[in-house]
Amino acid sequence: MPMRSLWAIVAPVFLASVYLATAPAVPHAQETTENPFTTVLDVRMGERLFRQQCGRCHGRDAKGGELGPDLTSGLQNTSTDAGLFKVVREGLPNTQMIGISRSATDQSVWMVVSYVNSLNDTADVDLPGSATAGMQLFNGKGNCASCHMVNGAGGRRGPDLTRVGNRRDPDELVSDLTTPDEDVTPRWWTIRVTREDGSIVEGLRMNEDTFSLRLMDENENLWAFSKGRIRSYDRIETSTMPSVDGMLTTNEVDDLVAYLFSLRREES
Ligand code: HEC
Ligand code: HEC
């Protein structure tokens, strides 16, 4: 077999394995529809990339230029992160929209996606509630701060909500409050351990491997168990968060949502 055709067979395999060996631990575009790069820093990096590669057509501030449309007042071609990823990666066929440079990593594309999304935040939607009243409820009657941290103050038994308005829209926040048992990620599952003497310890699962378990109980005490030295343990996959249904009025829920949605990255 002549060398060249052998190389044609070997090369793709070889390149694929080099790619696998050197690729960072970032999910591949085809496999993920959720943007893994959404922090404030990612948005900034995305903005920088945008200015370098997209600004000449869309304008430095993305408000539109001679060649490309305004990207800050809603997008026509896509409504999902995955769709936007594809547009930025591949461009739009038969238009001047050429997309990002071919050498750009998936990470860079996601950062640009985050930046473009940040321009289209539903930042000024009119919400029925009052954010000020919501903040008072959060720290007072609603008892939310006992589990949730905002700007460094509060409990650790639930997710930090300092920037929750960037990741959840108002509708999603309403369901977070009314149906907390839906979509609980394993990070927030409860483990109930029955010790050899029959006593029970319950807490959020902080860490688990083949041999050990670490929990945080409701007083934020940490417990470590060796699995061989307990009688049994159960996973409880519901949320420890109580639903606000029946505890708060609809108006109070609106106030909380207005407050939570105001917890966003500051507009620069
Ligand atoms: C050579 C000019 C040019 C460059 C460079 C360019 N674009 Fe575009 N872009 C366009 C044009 C023109 C359109 C409108 C295409 C159409 O629908 O006719 C467009 C459309 C888009 C859209 C779709 C808008 C919508 O409403 O759906 C997005 C998103 C977009 N561009 C993002 C980018 C990003 C991000 C970059 C940089 C990685 C970039 N573009 C680089 C010219 C450009
Ligand atoms: C006993 C602790 C506890 C209390 C009290 C509590 N939460 Fe939670 N909260 C959690 C946990 C644990 C989660 C994560 C699991 C889930 O999705 O339900 C969560 C999730 C959330 C989320 C979704 C966050 C995200 O990143 O997706 C929001 C929003 C929220 N809580 C708001 C509130 C508000 C507002 C109150 C007060 C009315 C409150 N919580 C009271 C424990 C609590």
What is the mean pLDDT of the segment spanning 74-103? 90
Provide the pLDDT for residue 187: 86
CATH code, residues 186-236: 2.30.30.100
- Asked if the model's pLDDT at residue 24 lies above 90, the reply is no
Low-confidence winner among 73-77, 78-82, 120-124 (lowest mean pLDDT): 120-124
At 3, the pLDDT band (50, 70, 90 cuts) reads very low
**Ligand number, closest to the Cα atom of 158:** 2
Mean pLDDT of the chain: 85
Residues lining ligand 1, Cβ inside 6 A: 50, 53-54, 56-58, 67-69, 71, 75-78, 84, 87-88, 92, 95-100, 112, 116
Mean pLDDT across 135-147: 96
DSSP reduced 3-state for 76:
coil
Q: How far is the CA of 217 from the centre of ligand 2 (A)?
A: 16
Using left for φ > 0, alpha for ψ between -120 and 50, and beta otherwise, residue 59 falls in left
Q: Specify the pLDDT at position 79.
A: 75
Mean pLDDT is lowest, of 29-33, 154-158, 166-170, 218-222, for: 29-33
- pLDDT, one tens digit per residue, over 252-263 is 999 999 999 989
- Contact yes or no for 116/62 (Cβ under 8 A): yes
The pLDDT of residue 125 is: 62
Ligand 2 centroid – CA 47 distance (Å): 32
Q: Does residue 68 have its Cβ closer than 6 Å to ligand 2?
A: no
**Which CATH number describes the domain made up of 28-119?**
1.10.760.10
Closest C-alpha to 260, from 158, 112, 114, 111 = 158
Which atom of ligand 2 is nearest the CA belonging to 256? 35
**Between residues 34 and 237, the one the model is more confident about:** 237
Task: Taking residues 205-227, report their average pLDDT.
Answer: 93
pLDDT on residue 77: 82
Side-chain-side CA neighbours of 44 within 13 Å: the count stands at: 6
Is there a contact between 84 and 99 (Cβ–Cβ < 8 Å)? no
- In short, whether 189's Cβ falls inside 6 Å of ligand 2 is no
pLDDT of residue 219: 92
Indicate which atom in ligand 1 lies nearest the CA of residue 96: 12
CATH number of 131-183+242-261: 1.10.760.10
pTM attached to this predicted model: 0.56
Domain-by-domain residue ranges, the chain? 28-119, 131-183+242-261, 186-236
Average pLDDT over residues 162-185: 90
Overall average pLDDT of the 40-44 stretch:
88
CA distance 235 to 184: 12
Q: Does the C-beta of 62 come closer than 6 Å to ligand 2?
A: no
Contact 64, 70 (CB under 8 A): yes
**Ligand nearest to the Cα of 80, by number:** 1
Least confident of 119-123, 155-159, 236-240: 119-123
pLDDT of residue 118: 84
Residue 2: is its pLDDT beyond 50? no
pLDDT of residue 140: 96
Please write the tens of the pLDDT for every residue from 101-140.
Answer: 999 999 999 999 999 988 876 555 678 899 999 999 999 9
Centre of ligand 1 to C-alpha 69, Å, is 7
Q: Are 265 and 40 in contact (CB under 8 A)?
A: yes
Nearest to 130 by CA among 3, 253, 1: 253
Ligand 2 contact via 253 beta carbon (within 6 Å): no
Of all protein residues, the one whose alpha carbon is nearest to atom 35 of ligand 2 is 144
Q: Where are the alpha helices (DSSP H) in 129-196?
A: 131-139, 164-167, 170-178
131-183+242-261 has the same fold as 28-119: yes
